[in-house]
């Protein structure tokens, strides 16, 4: 038991440190870091209990309250991914069970230290109450996560949150099974040991999945992406805006000054909010965001910037992708091009490849290789 605990704690701590080092401007990843720290702390406490304490009551019955953070943190991560303007602190009430059970945990610990007989009675009450709170929280949040995961755009982030939700739900199922039937199938404390062994293994799998997704990426998918880059043609046509590109002066509804005002609002809003990373962004959404008619916005783009809506937005996305590649490369971390494509707002790798080559002048992999060469040259000249 102590080996699986120590391995899991090490994995969680390593994943948290690597993710902390990797993070750029992505505030959602802070929630994943907190989740990993909670898992590391949980397993660290269990390591102390199993490695230092000899009291069988404490070893077999002392539920660690930190587990009540897993579901809320994963759920808030989903909400943050869904809406970058979402502030997790506004939904602090998700952590009330964690605080209440934490107070109970510390109270029981103090009683056990001060007067063991009373402490054992308090431990029985704490254990029976907290077990069902763990099961309730562990069942509700994974179901919410799996139900709402489709609100995220298809891609690595939705895949990751699906994996986390499924593993948390499996953890709850295991807990329910052993709570109801463990004593019938196996004698205590063997049923408790087996249950916790499975739970700690599932927590380790969550850490591995986060680390694989966020740090190393999926190398096979990236290789397939690079193989297709050179073969991907640039789209001959882009989806049309409500006002066609060649709009004549006779059809203009706005003056040049009004075009300039709308253009400045577009530029300021996109630079401030990075709305272009929304893979489902439409002309209607963008127009609503700046409080202008979609026809006026389209006219401004066509007449003032000489671009369609999709050209305009994809230029921002490609520049964002190039910045991410450069920033990650400068940190000495591995670059997953497919993940960057999704995080920049693209739904399809073919579109990303085509627009990247059209705007930057080279494929993503060629750009990455050039960045690597420049970095090596800078290091050699330093």
Is-contact 5 50, C-beta < 8 A?
Answer: yes
Over residues 153-168, the pLDDT tens digits come to 666 778 889 999 999 9
CATH of the domain at 341: 1.10.10.60
Q: 59: cis peptide before it, omega within 30°?
A: no
Q: Which residue in 113, 107, 99 sits closest to 126, CA to CA?
A: 107
Confidence band of 24 (pLDDT split at 50, 70, 90): very low
Phi-psi region of 134 (alpha: psi -120 to 50; beta: other; left: phi over 0): alpha
Task: Tell me how far apart the alpha carbons of residues 72 and 142 are, in angstroms, rounded to a whole number.
Answer: 9
Residues 182 and 82 both lie in one domain: yes
Q: Which of 316, 293, 314, 285 is nearest to 243 (CA)?
A: 293
What share of the chain in percent tops pLDDT 70? Answer: 83
Residue 141's pLDDT is 94
315 pLDDT more than 80: yes
pLDDT score of 200: 86
Helix (H, G, I), strand (E, B) or coil at 120: helix
Instruction: Map 35-100 to HEC letters.
Output: HHHHHHHHHHHHHHHHHHCCCHHHHHHCCCHHHHHHHHHHHHHHHHHHCCCCCHHHHHHHHHHHHH
Question: For position 55, what pLDDT does the model report?
Answer: 74
* pLDDT tier at 349, thresholds 50, 70, 90: confident
Task: Pick the more confident residue, 368 or 332.
Answer: 368
> Are 170 and 274 found together in one domain?
no
- Both 202 and 101 in a single domain? yes
Report which DSSP code applies to 233: P
Q: Is 108 helix (H, G, I), strand (E, B) or coil?
A: helix
Among candidate residues 317, 315, 290, the one with its CA nearest the CA of residue 305: 315
Provide the domain limits for residue 290.
228-381
Average of per-residue pLDDT values in the chain: 80
Lowest mean pLDDT among 48-62, 167-181, 286-300, 325-339: 48-62
* Pair (247, 210) in one structural domain: no
Whether residue 254 is found in the same domain as residue 160: no
> Are 342 and 209 members of one domain?
no
Whole-structure pTM over 0.85, yes or no?
no
Q: What is the mean pLDDT of residues 18-39?
A: 76
Of all residues in the chain, the percent with pLDDT exceeding 90 is 22
Cβ neighbours of residue 170 closer than 8 Å, sequence gap 6 or more: 202
Q: Residue 100 CA to chain centroid, in angstroms?
A: 27
> Quick one: pLDDT at residue 214?
66
- Number of domains, the chain: 2
> Comparing 353 with 196, which gets the higher pLDDT?
353
d(CA 99, CA 107): 12
> Cβ(225)–Cβ(271) under 8 Å?
no
* Residue 195 and residue 76 share a domain: yes
**So what's the pLDDT on residue 248?**
45
Question: Is 222 within a domain?
Answer: no
Question: Which residue would you say has higher pLDDT here, 49 or 365?
Answer: 365
- pLDDT tens digits for range 133-142: 888 998 999 9
Write down the residue that tokens 């502030």 correspond to: 87
195 and 271 belong to one structural domain: no
- Whether residue 79 is found in the same domain as residue 166: yes
pLDDT tens for 248-276 read: 444 677 888 888 999 999 999 999 989 99
Kindly tell me if the per-residue pLDDT of 245 is higher than 50.
Answer: no
DSSP secondary structure letters along 109-178: HHHHHH-HHHHHHHHHHHHHHHHHHHHHHHHHHHHHHHHHGGGSPSSHHHHHHHHHHHHHHHHHHHHHHH
What one-character DSSP code corresponds to residue 25? Answer: S
From CA 100, how far away is CA 91, in angstroms rounded?
16
Q: Of residues 341 and 377, which shows the higher confidence score?
A: 341
Asked, for residue 223, whether it belongs to a domain, the answer is no
Which of 110-119, 179-188, 332-341 comes out lowest in average pLDDT?
179-188
Residue 251 near residue 311 (C-beta atoms within 8 A)? no
Out of 35-49, 221-235, 270-284, least confident range: 221-235
CA distance 280 to 191: 48
* pLDDT score at 168: 93
Phi, psi (degrees; rounded to nearest 5) at 150: -70, -10
- Shared domain check, 179 and 72: yes
Phi, psi of 199 (to 5 degrees): -60, -45
* Contacting residues for 149 by C-beta, under 8 A, at least 6 apart: 78, 158, 161, 162, 165
- Which residue, 216, 239, 270, sits at the end of a domain? 216
- pLDDT score for 217: 45
What pLDDT does 189 receive?
A: 62
Handedness of CA 228, 234, 237, 240 (dihedral sign): positive
User: Is residue 323 assigned to a domain?
Assistant: yes
**What digits encode the pLDDT tens for the residues 35-86?**
989 998 888 888 887 777 777 767 666 778 888 999 999 999 999 888 777 8
Give the pLDDT confidence score for residue 269 in this predicted structure.
Answer: 92
Q: Do 26 and 111 belong together in one domain?
A: yes
């Amino acid at each position: 038991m102590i080996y699986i605990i120590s391995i899991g704690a090490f994995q969680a701590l390593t994943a948290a440190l690597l993710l902390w080092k990797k993070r750029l401007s992505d505030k959602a990843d802070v929630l994943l870091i907190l989740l990993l720290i909670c898992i590391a702390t949980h397993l660290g406490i269990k390591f102390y209990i199993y490695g230092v304490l000899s009291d069988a009551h404490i070893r077999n019955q002392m539920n660690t309250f930190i587990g009540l953070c897993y579901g809320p943190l994963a759920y808030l991560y989903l909400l943050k991914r869904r809406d970058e303007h979402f502030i997790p602190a506004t939904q602090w009430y998700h952590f009330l069970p964690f605080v209440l059970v934490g107070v109970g945990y510390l109270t029981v610990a103090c009683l056990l230290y001060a007067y063991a007989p009373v402490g054992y009675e308090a431990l029985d009450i704490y254990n029976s109450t907290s077990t069902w709170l763990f099961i309730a929280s562990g069942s509700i949040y994974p179901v919410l996560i799996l139900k709402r995961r489709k609100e995220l755009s298809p891609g690595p982030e939705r895949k990751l949150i699906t994996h986390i939700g499924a593993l948390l739900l499996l953890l709850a199922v295991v807990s329910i099974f052993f709570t109801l039937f463990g004593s019938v199938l196996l004698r205590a404390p063997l049923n408790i040991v087996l249950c916790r062994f499975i739970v700690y293994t599932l927590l380790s799998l969550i850490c591995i999945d986060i680390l694989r997704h966020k740090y190393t990426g999926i190398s096979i998918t990236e290789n397939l992406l690079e193989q297709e880059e050179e073969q991907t043609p640039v789209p001959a046509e882009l989806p049309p805006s409500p006002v066609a590109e060649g709009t004549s002066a006779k059809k203009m509804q706005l003056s040049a000054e009004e075009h300039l005002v709308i253009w400045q609002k577009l530029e300021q809003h996109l630079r401030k909010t990075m709305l272009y990373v929304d893979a489902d962004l439409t002309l209607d959404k963008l127009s609503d965001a700046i409080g202008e008619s979609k026809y006026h916005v389209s006219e401004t783009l066509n007449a003032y910037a000489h671009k369609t809506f999709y050209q305009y937005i994809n230029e921002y996305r490609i520049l964002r992708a190039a910045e991410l590649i450069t920033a990650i490369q400068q940190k000495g971390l591995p670059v997953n091009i497919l993940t960057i494509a999704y995080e920049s707002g693209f739904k399809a790798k073919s579109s990303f490849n085509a627009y990247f080559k059209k705007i930057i002048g080279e494929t993503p992999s060629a750009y990455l290789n050039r960045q690597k060469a420049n970095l090596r040259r800078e290091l050699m000249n330093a």
